[in-house]
Structure 1
Amino acid sequence: MRSDRVRLFQTLPHACGYFADRTAQNLVIDPAAPQLDQLYGPALERGFRRAGGHLYFPYCSSCRACTPCRIDAERFRPDRSQRRCLKRNADLQVIESMAGYNAERHALYERYLRHRHPGGGMDEADASDFRRFLTAPWSPTLFLEFRLGARLLGVAVTDVCLHGLSAVYTFFDPDETTRSLGTFAILQQVELARRRGLPWIYLGFWIEGHPKMDYKRRFQPLQIRTVEGWSDMQQP
């Protein structure tokens, strides 16, 4: 991706979602670019992330904590805790579904946000918020649904690109915390990548030492991207 072929914009400073005492800025690929579907795969390779119809990369003036990370699908082996997670959820059906809004998904999404982000402005997501954040007309998105019988327990929003999957977002029933459905979603995305012969599962950003991000280091071998390119994360 060369800057003479696509425009990049830098956002104004805004509150950081991970550190209360910091501000953040993003680089955003021109959302009006006509070839976003073609740019998406190369952008993932360079550490970008999709949110709604935007491809962005954190670019803060005084912080470089956000580090792109991805799972090596072929070399990944679940650890003991992850194997227990698979066993706990062996009663679930995993369904590859077309991405998009419906009332059932929206109701689960609202419940999840009310539990995870109470009073933060995200907990009143209407149908347009659902569509705007989770899908884009140019994005190759599918929804992995996790069902117990007819009951929808979770959805892993997954973008399927030419050389890998991007784990965009997962939402699930907040009453089912003992199932560890967030972990289960990533494990299912690894299996989806293997079925489709794709080498990578892009997990967005990892922040060293941050409690909300620490779970990602358990999916080994995990690669991180620095200015030198991608390399395996060194285990402590």
Structure 2
Amino acid sequence: MSNSEGMSTQTIKLFRTSDHACSYLAERQSRTLFLDPDLRFELPLYEELTQSGFRRSGKHLYRPDCQQCNACIPARIPVHEFINKRRFKRISKANSDIRMEIMPSKVRLEDYQLFERYIEQRHADGDMYPATLAGYEDFLAVNREFSFHIRFFVQGQLVAVAVTDRLISGLSAIYTFFEPNLETRSLGVFAILSQIELCKKWSLPFLYLGYWVPGCQKMQYKIDYQPTELLIDGQWQCIRRDT
């Protein structure tokens, strides 16, 4: 099904999928609204759609559009209000030996091999298993003017990659993968902390984290970063909880 909606930047065409199994909540059905895949969207439209709850996956911009469920809630961190609690300070200290570099979004064999190990050991029950180079390129190595990779090294060894987009209002954390045998470093958390610091350095007010899904354990980490802003009824609302 398709429809057209007038945005302030341009008129766009949106498509809706049929119902399919939800990847977040068991025994629920979901459907997805996505931007015309033939449209090469530019940054202003990407920013505007992000403000209304869309997310990028590879070449596509999408958001959940389920008939009887609104559990997927867009979340972002207002970085200048971020509370760097003791747990986060411990993780930063544990990774003080890490060197970071920012590189264009593209396929690198070293990155893909790390991604392959990560999927095999951490997500063998997911829809990205088994990892393929073509799937990796389509999902995480789309080369656009707003996309880049933050690469993390320990003594010259690549240990994590954070795929990130630079929007007008902030950074969008698209996906992070890391060395699965280094669990004690909490590299996923460290990647988010690093993106928060990068937002501050570049004077960007928000880090977008994608969807928080109450009831989905693997998404609970997104409200560990306080305060959190959630997009509820079309308005970004600041949610604070005990830290």
TM-score, structure 2 normalization: 0.92
Q: Which runs of 5+ in 1 are unaligned?
A: none
Secondary structure of the structure 2 residue equivalent to 1:7: strand
Q: Report what 1:114 is aligned to.
A: 120
- Identify the residue that residue 183 of structure 1 maps to in structure 2: 189
Task: Please give the alpha-carbon distance, in whole angstroms, between the structure 2 residues aligned to 1:174 and 1:195.
Answer: 29
- Kindly provide the amino acid, as one letter, of the partner of residue 3 in structure 1: E
Corresponding residue for residue 40 of structure 1? 46
Shift of 1:234: 4.0
Equivalent residue for 1:18? Answer: 24
CA distance in 2, matches of 1:219, 1:177: 20
In the alignment, is residue 229 of structure 1 matched against residue 235 of structure 2?
yes
The answer on 1:149 being equivalent to 2:155 is: yes
Deviation at 1:37, TM superposition (A): 3.5
What does residue 146 of structure 2 align with? 140
SS in 2 for 1:213: helix
- Counterpart of 2:210 in structure 1 is 204
How many correspondences in the alignment?
235
**5 Å matches for 1:50-89?**
50-89=56-95
User: Residue 197 of structure 1 aligns to which amino acid in structure 2?
Assistant: S
The alpha-carbon distance between structure 1 residues 124 and 226, as it changes in their structure 2 partners (threshold 3 A), is same
3-state secondary structure, aligned to 2:217 = coil
Task: Say what the alpha-carbon RMSD is for the aligned residues.
Answer: 1.5
Q: TM-score, normalised by structure 1?
A: 0.95
Change (3 A) 1:209 1:235: farther
Distance 2:161 2:129 in 1: 17
The 1-side partners of 2:207 and 2:107 are apart by: 24
Deviant stretches of 4+, over 6 Å: none
**Worse-matched range after superposition: 96-105 or 34-43:** 34-43
How many angstroms apart in 2 are the aligned matches of 1:128 and 1:228? Answer: 36
Among candidates 164, 168, 178, match of residue 158 of structure 1? 164
**1:217 offset after TM fit, Å?**
1.1
- CA distance in structure 1 between the aligned counterparts of 2:138 and 2:47, rounded to whole angstroms: 20
CA distance in 2, matches of 1:35, 1:55: 9
Which runs of 5 or more residues in structure 2 are unaligned? none
Taking the aligned partners of 2:105 and 2:21, their CA distance within structure 1 comes to 30
